[in-house]
Structure 1
Amino acid sequence: MLNYEDLRIYDMEVIATDKGASALSGQCSIKVLVEDMNDNHPEISIKSFQSPVKENIELETVIAVVSVSDKDSGDNGVVDLHIPDNMPFTLRESSDNYYELVVSEPLDREKAPEYDITFTVTDRGSPPLSDNETMTLELLDVNDNVPQFPQSFYTIRVMENNAPGALLSSLTAFDPDLHENQYLVYFILEKEIANTSMSMLFSINPENGNLYALKTFDYEIENEFLFHIEARDSGSPPLSSNVTVHIIIVDQNDNAPVIVSPWRAQGSVVEETIPRSTDKGSLVAKVIALDTDSVHNSRITYQFLQVTDATLFSLDQYNGEIRTMRMFSYRDPRHQRLVVVAKDNGEPALSATVTIKLSTLETAVNKAYSDMTEVPLEYDIFSDLNLYLVIGLGSVSFLLLITILVTIVLKCQTPKPSSAAPPCRNSVLSERNSTIADSTLVSNDAYWYSMFLAETRKGKMVVRQPVPKGSRYIVSSLPRGTGLTNTSDSAASTLQVPQYRSNNGVFRNNAVL
């Protein structure tokens, strides 16, 4: 077998000899040239190869030197070397049949921890022959990645009155590096709020990022916190990142409403006084309650828990105003008891109550008018004792009335100047420094009784009022058509004086039927 690669030219001498007695011969030279054929595969030789290399290796760094060869000649011995596409390496020819493998793009171990590089050499023969060899390049990790939190901002809601040491959330970061470069430690970045460090309120597990509350929170004192948590790896140099944490304290309905108006001592009853002549729709009292819980839990509604007469008062459920629904009548008790409950909107609802003792006060004119027109004689408000007192006072008043009438008659018979008009039946003369003007008497007498005479359905009512010493009185006549009585044809005489307060502070007005 001829092999071009072993011997390309053969030189031979060919001798021809006959068989005669004296042999004769002749010779010639033959030169055989062996032609090459593409019968040898190219060869690859890895002269040097660095593996592993750091992932942050610089560009244009040579990581391998490769030589190629082919024993064939001509085009059969011309070879080409190449590597797969889409790899961060290139081949650079350094000398004949020598190539360098260099880094052409940045390497990232987190994207590709290793590369299988296949060197392929192909000759230019026909048909072409090729050969290949594969080398594995490993990348060493470098601390080139900062820890990463899944979120950049955490909002954590914590119900108030939480138990100390309760787990709030787990804030775990991720580091794609390896070994110590991915070992993370968590910290709370110190921040003081009202001279209180965050590390005194919250705690974080340095290994896994679990966040705990160190105290019980009260929404009414502190309702939110804002701070940062840092995650730091253990590389050299260490890398870190932080995340913002917003703690929101969620309100519970743990505060009952507090009645601030009307003011009252602890456990006492509020006493209010209003005129008995109060019109319909008048404001009697206003209950104001406050709740320190949040907006939802602090919404207050008001309602009557107890009321003496439900037809007399109304309560606005939103602003707590108590108003009269009608005017007071003689049948209404003088003292009304109102119990108002203020209830919040929480779940369960909390409430507070206030008791208002409402007293009605009558003026002098209103009382006289009320006694005359509103209290019927048959109304069973008189006890036996009161009846005896009324009879006794009536007798005394009757005697006094007779005395005064006799005195008036005698005075009216006193001679008057001819030009003066006769005295009027509605005038009353005083024997002590009195003056008469328009049927009105102003007197400084030490003690007087005022009288009021009016017809009623059952008879006549006489009212007398003792007046304290040194008081000043206005005595006037009551003209017709006042509306006090319609059963008498003539106007009754009246002595109008203000009511006085006795030693025990009670307004007195004695009436005799």
Structure 2
Amino acid sequence: MLLEHMYFSKRIRLVIVFFIQMATDLVLSQLHYMVPEESKHGTFVGRIAQDLGMQISDINDRRLRIVSKDGTDYFQVNLQNGILFVNKIINREELCPETSICTVQLEIIVDKPVQIHHVDVEIEDINDNYPVFSSNEFKLIIAESRLLGSRFPLEGAVDADVGTNSITNYELSASDYFSLDVQTYTQKSKSIQLVLKKSLDREQIPVHNLTLIAYDGGKPKLSATAQLLITVEDVNDNAPVFDKSFYTVSLLEHALKGTIVTKLNATDLDKGEYGEIFYAFNKVVSQQVANMFSIEPSTGIIRVIGEVDFERRKIYEIEIDAIDNGHHPMAGHCKLIVNIVDVNDNAPELTVTSLNVPVPEDASLGSVVAVISVYDKDSGSNGKVNCQIPRNVPFKITSTVREYFSLIVDGPLDREIISEYNVEITATDEGSPALSVTKLIKVQISDVNDNPPTFLQSSESVSVKENNPPGSHVYTVTAFDADINQNSFITYSIIDSSIDGIPISSYISINPENGKVFALMSFDHEQVSHFQCQIKSIDAGLPPLSSNLTLYIFVEDVNDNAPYVLTAFSSSESRLTEMIPKSVREGHLVTKIKAIDADSGYNAWISYEFVNPPQNIPFVIGRQTGEITIIRPFMESDGDEYRLSIELKDHGDTIMSSVATLVILLVESGHDLPVERQTHHHRKDDDFSDANIYLIMSICLISSVFLITLIVYTLLKWQKCTREINELKQHNFCPSIAGSWTYSQQRQYKVCLSGGPPKNDLILFTPNFPQSMDDAISNIGSLTSESAGQPRHPHPDWRYSASLRAAMQGAVHVEGAAILRGPPVGLEQQWPTVSSATPEPEGGEVSPPVGAGVNCNSWTFKYGPGNPKQPVPQIPPDFPENFIIPGSPAIISIRQDQPSTQSQKSNFITFGKKEETKKKKKKKKGNKNQDKGNNPADNSDQ
């Protein structure tokens, strides 16, 4: 019973281990499908795209494909609907002959971006195989002396199916002597024994014919039969017995030949030859096992005689018999389970599944470069593989899903520094000792336009001789681009600019392909000595990059201009004239020839010398200064005129020269310059320089500004005056003599004494009175009478001629003011007349003023002793200082001045303009007072 209990416990543990292994395989799979074996082509397996979370439209775009681990093509994916289907019929027994769970491992690889999914398709077994016995008939010899309960092992049937479709039960035809005992150790391991339940009697039944039936668990059940021919003999009574009925040992794979697996031991209770035991493999042991192991008949030692490989077979089941040496041999039976232990004898297998090269040099960190598949045939730690790469490359390798690694970008890439990397990938398992495999991957770096064209210097200088032919080659600019192909194709252009308003494109041009710079015009150093331009180089990348070069072009001077005298006018032979007295002594500077050359440097260095000078001339010229001096005193034999030719030469490679003529005139002291000399000086004075022109323009501009300012100021004053008059229009003032006031005039007038502020001022707007002078005088009288309280009239002899009336009528209608000035002694008005010699007019005739600067509104009329016909009217002492002339917009202001020093005192009336300022009044007052004190006869001129 104890043995049976131990045997049963071991079987349970094996079953648990088996199911744990199955559960582990399921967990490791990302997707798991099941399909029956023998399924026809096109059989639906699973919706692979839907289960992976992909859209149907993304299948083709992302390049979904399927890869089988063993390279078979049992399954395919429909790229139209993403369904996984059976591609060809699968025979599970051929595909997985040794395993109970048959799984086809698939890898679903999706690019853009790269994704790998592991799919396990389990092939379900169907009951398509019958149980098969190795023979249709088995013969057994059993001694009649065998005890009840004796067991006789039988060879079981074999079923290629697994699981419930494999053999699950045996049946024995009805028999009173024998029964069938079936023991299950593992799913594939079953022990079938024939049990003797009744003593045999050879004399009664010498031969027993039984039928053994094997059933599988499929639906429907399939079965196989075999005939058992049992011959009853009279043999030994005791059979050998093993220590254990079931042995389990472990054996390392690749064990050397001759390695002892185990040693069996059996005993026999018989004596003598019946107790002698030899060991042998049972007939049910396959030839494959017999080729792998051997057993020593006398000792029971089992040795390795073949090559043990864990990857080929993991477990061996061996039936062993112990047979005695009796006439009727009896045998004992046991079963040996040999478990093959894996050793790390297989190096990892490394395969590059996907390689995305070349890699752009601007690839972001984490970009997938390659996907590597790693597989190790070993199991456990021996089958776990790690990958690594050198640390000196900008990549790293990471684990993705089971048995897959990704090579990704882990640092900046620069094609210009390193254009290709040789990445050595090493896959190492965790066995002891560890095995590894190395694979070299070449990763090319593709160019990105990240380098602009570069000039060796930011600026360059070029010298070009003037008068160059148009189209001549000036310089060649060269830029370098570290990129390649299209990104390094450089074109050149000139950035638009101008030189004195002229576009730079009129001066030079550039070949866009080779950078050659050409002159489009003939340069002139005297006009443009140097200029600069910006040259742009741009590559053909996307986006294009560019850089600039500043090119300084200097125009070298060429001696192409002859010297000339500054005072020359037109002709090629200049002529100068100088006049010197004959009395000058030696060393006297006659003149200095001033010449210039439009060139520069040595080409503009001028030397002076006489051309074929007469003998013994009293002059010498400084070769470098051009100064002409006297080297000896003049003699009587010397002529009065010297005509000297002076050659002006520069110092260029090709010397250029010009000739000027100097005429020296010898004159006596005090003589005038000849006409030719004078004309020459006038012409020099008439030559305006640029500075004179600018000065004249500045004066004109300032004058224009002053004139505009004056006009604006006058307009502003006029507007102010007009505004004040308009404000006065809105008010009514004093009543008139007639008892009414009118508002008919547009101006106000102020009459005051010249030379001092008036005591009283009245503002009057023209009333509706008669405009005749007589009426005006009468109104004056009435006004003065009313103002003084006593009626007074002017002198009866104060008469006015027709000319005076016209003058007064014009004076009061012109904008102005009438001022009555003078002492109380007499009334005399003195203004300039036509001539001081003109006699005074008779009868107080009025003469109009004549001459520039005389007020056209002023008139002169005199009264006094000189005209007895017109006695001077006396102003009463109580006459008002201010009075109004009716019918006119004028106010007459009468002011009594202090008595004059003259014996002749006079009073005068003045009609003047309103616009005279106080300052002018004061000035005139001072002048008049001075004139009155110094020259009384000049009063008429004031």
| TM-score over 0.5 for the pair | yes
Deviations along 1:342-381, one digit per CA (max 9) or x if unpaired, are 22121112122223233433459xxxxxxxxxxxxxxxxx
- The one of 592, 612, 617 aligned to 1:286: 592
Paired residues for 1:39-438 under 5 Å: 39-73=345-379, 76-125=382-431, 127-261=433-567, 267=573, 269-309=575-615, 312-330=618-636, 332-362=638-668
Deviations along 1:65-87, one digit per CA (max 9) or x if unpaired, are 22323233565444331223322
Deviation at 1:264, TM superposition (A): 8.6
Residue 306 of structure 1 contacts residue 337 of structure 1 at CA under 8 Å; is this kept in 2? no
Identity of aligned residues (%): 40
Separation in 2, partners of 1:343, 1:5:
111
Deviations along 1:117-144, one digit per CA (max 9) or x if unpaired, are 3322123545543212233333443333
Separation in 1, partners of 2:362, 2:368:
14
Deviation at 1:250, TM superposition (A): 1.0
Change (3 A) 1:101 1:133: same
Letter in 1 for 2:555: I
- Higher percent of residues as helix: 2
Change (3 A) 1:266 1:188: closer
Deviation at 1:220, TM superposition (A): 1.0
Residue 308 of structure 1 contacts residue 336 of structure 1 at CA under 8 Å; is this kept in 2? no
Change (3 A) 1:268 1:253: closer
Q: Secondary structure at the match of 1:39?
A: coil
CA RMSD of aligned residues (A): 2.8
Deviation at 1:288, TM superposition (A): 0.9
Separation in 2, partners of 1:264, 1:173:
52
Say whether 1:24 aligns with 2:320: no
Separation in 1, partners of 2:570, 2:616:
24
Q: How many residues align?
A: 364
Residue 264 of structure 1 contacts residue 270 of structure 1 at CA under 8 Å; is this kept in 2? no
Letter in 1 for 2:629: R
Change (3 A) 1:271 1:91: same
Residue 158 of structure 1 contacts residue 248 of structure 1 at CA under 8 Å; is this kept in 2? yes
Deviation at 1:184, TM superposition (A): 3.0
Separation in 2, partners of 1:83, 1:229:
48
Deviations along 1:297-329, one digit per CA (max 9) or x if unpaired, are 212222333333567333222221111223234
Moved more, 344-353 or 332-341: 332-341
**Which stretches in structure 1 are left out of the alignment for 5+ residues?**
365-513
Paired residues for 1:458-469 under 5 Å: none
Separation in 2, partners of 1:363, 1:255:
41
Deviation at 1:251, TM superposition (A): 0.9
Q: Secondary structure at the match of 1:306?
A: coil
- Higher percent of residues as strand: 1
Separation in 2, partners of 1:350, 1:225:
27
Q: Secondary structure at the match of 2:416?
A: coil
Deviation at 1:103, TM superposition (A): 0.7
Residue 271 of structure 1 contacts residue 356 of structure 1 at CA under 8 Å; is this kept in 2? yes
Q: Secondary structure at the match of 2:580?
A: strand
Separation in 2, partners of 1:280, 1:261:
26
Deviation at 1:88, TM superposition (A): 1.6
Deviation at 1:332, TM superposition (A): 4.7
Separation in 2, partners of 1:264, 1:239:
58
Residue 385 of structure 2 contacts residue 429 of structure 2 at CA under 8 Å; is this kept in 1? yes
Residue 372 of structure 2 contacts residue 406 of structure 2 at CA under 8 Å; is this kept in 1? yes
Letter in 1 for 2:354: S
Residue 262 of structure 1 contacts residue 287 of structure 1 at CA under 8 Å; is this kept in 2? no
Separation in 2, partners of 1:286, 1:264:
20
| Structure 2 residue aligned with 1:464 | none
Separation in 2, partners of 1:281, 1:341:
22
Deviations along 1:203-258, one digit per CA (max 9) or x if unpaired, are 22222222111111111112222221222233333332222222211111100000
Say whether 1:12 aligns with 2:318: yes
Residue 274 of structure 1 contacts residue 361 of structure 1 at CA under 8 Å; is this kept in 2? yes
Deviation at 1:172, TM superposition (A): 3.1
Separation in 2, partners of 1:60, 1:210:
46
What's the TM-score, normalizing by structure 2? Answer: 0.36
Change (3 A) 1:206 1:251: same
Separation in 1, partners of 2:572, 2:423:
90
Change (3 A) 1:274 1:2: same
Deviations along 1:414-452, one digit per CA (max 9) or x if unpaired, are xxxxxxxxxxxxxxxxxxxxxxxxxxxxxxxxxxxxxxx
Change (3 A) 1:241 1:316: same
Change (3 A) 1:108 1:309: same
Separation in 2, partners of 1:125, 1:268:
113
Deviations along 1:132-186, one digit per CA (max 9) or x if unpaired, are 2233333443333322233321222111101011111122333343443333332
Q: Secondary structure at the match of 1:16?
A: strand
Letter in 1 for 2:559: N
Letter in 1 for 2:451: N
Change (3 A) 1:362 1:167: same
Separation in 1, partners of 2:574, 2:445:
84
Deviations along 1:84-125, one digit per CA (max 9) or x if unpaired, are 332221111224443211111232333344433332212354
Q: Secondary structure at the match of 1:199?
A: helix
Moved more, 190-199 or 116-125: 116-125
Moved more, 349-358 or 124-133: 124-133
Moved more, 280-289 or 328-337: 328-337
Moved more, 16-25 or 132-141: 132-141
What's the TM-score, normalizing by structure 1? Answer: 0.64
Separation in 1, partners of 2:463, 2:355:
57
- Point out the structure with max Rg over C-alpha: 2
| Structure 2 residue aligned with 1:491 | none
| Structure 1 residue aligned with 2:72 | none
Q: Secondary structure at the match of 2:486?
A: helix
Residue 259 of structure 1 contacts residue 353 of structure 1 at CA under 8 Å; is this kept in 2? no
